[in-house]
Every structure is written in C-alpha cells, then in structure tokens.
Amino acid sequence: MGALKSAKVAPAKVTKAQIDAEADRREKILKQDKPKESDVVALDETVPISENVNRIVHEGHSARDVEEALSILSVQENPSDIDKHPEKRVRAAYSTFEEREMVRLKAEYPNFRLSQLKQMLKKEWQKSPDNPFNQPTRSFNTK
C-alpha cells in the first residue's frame, strides 16, 4: 500500500547562473524570430481609408443626457398625449380585450378548458398594443 502512494518531489533549486543562461537563451530566440524586411507588408495607398463613424458630427439635434435623447427619439409629437397613469386603465382594457379575443380563441381551440384559454389570453395580453403598459408613458417626475 505504501508503494502506491507517490512520493512528493521537492522542486530543484535554481542558481543565478542558470537564470541568466535561460534569459540569454530566450533573447537569442527573440532575435531570431524578428520579422525580416521581406516579411513586412507594405500598405496599399491606393485604397481609401474609411471615415471613423464614431467621430461623425450629425446635423440637427444633439443630446447631453438620457432625457434629451429620449425626447429627440420620441415618436409622438405632442407630449400631452402620453398616458401618465396606465395602471388605472388596465382592468377595463383587459376585460374588453378578453371579451373580444375569447370568442376567437374558443373558435380556434374548442376542446380547451377555460383556464387554458385564459392562460393563452394572458400571454397575448402581455404583447397586445391594447395593453396600457405597452404604450408610451410619462415619467412620474416630469412636469
């Protein structure tokens, strides 16, 4: 059993002369591996260099913070059209959506249970444009 265990081997000591010899050997290898002039690729000056798109100055609006950027990118012309409190209209909007879509789902899936149909309705509601939370809202702190 004792023969099965491997004996730990202590690392060999390295002298300063061995370290210097190894450093010299590495320097020689690096000098040999330097590219020759024939290996250097010349740049083709006839090919135009494309302009850096990160440095292009765009005409028109500029934004210094997130709110300005959002106002520039907003689709709506009139900010008063934005709903401030969509959570107040969710229940009524969902009930009208459910009445309208339940008829369609019952026709498509006549063998499904009501609970299965309601699960499908809920998934469709999350993506629906009728859902007030999917419409643009105004931030609480904006005036």
pLDDT (0 to 100) of residue 86: 67
* pLDDT tens for each residue of 96-109: 899 999 999 999 99
Q: What is the pLDDT along the chain (143 residues), one digit of tens a residue?
A: 555 666 677 778 889 999 999 999 999 888 887 666 665 666 667 777 777 777 766 677 777 888 888 777 765 555 566 666 666 778 888 998 999 999 999 999 999 999 999 999 999 999 888 888 777 655 555 55
pLDDT (0 to 100) of residue 35: 62
pLDDT (0 to 100) of residue 138: 54
Instruction: Return the half-sphere exposure (C-beta side, CA atoms, 13 A cut-off) of residue 15.
Output: 3
Calpha distance 130→127 (Å, rounded) = 9
Strand partners, 137: 83
pLDDT (0 to 100) of residue 66: 87
76, 91 in Cβ contact below 8 A?
A: no
pLDDT (0 to 100) of residue 136: 67
Question: Which residues neighbour 79 within 8 Å (Cβ) at sequence distance 6 or greater?
Answer: 138
For the record, the structure tokens of 10 come out as 């202590």
What Å distances lie between residue 19 and 6, 9, 23, 33, 41, CA to CA? 29, 21, 6, 21, 36
Ramachandran region, residue 58 (left: φ > 0; alpha: ψ -120 to 50; beta: rest):
beta
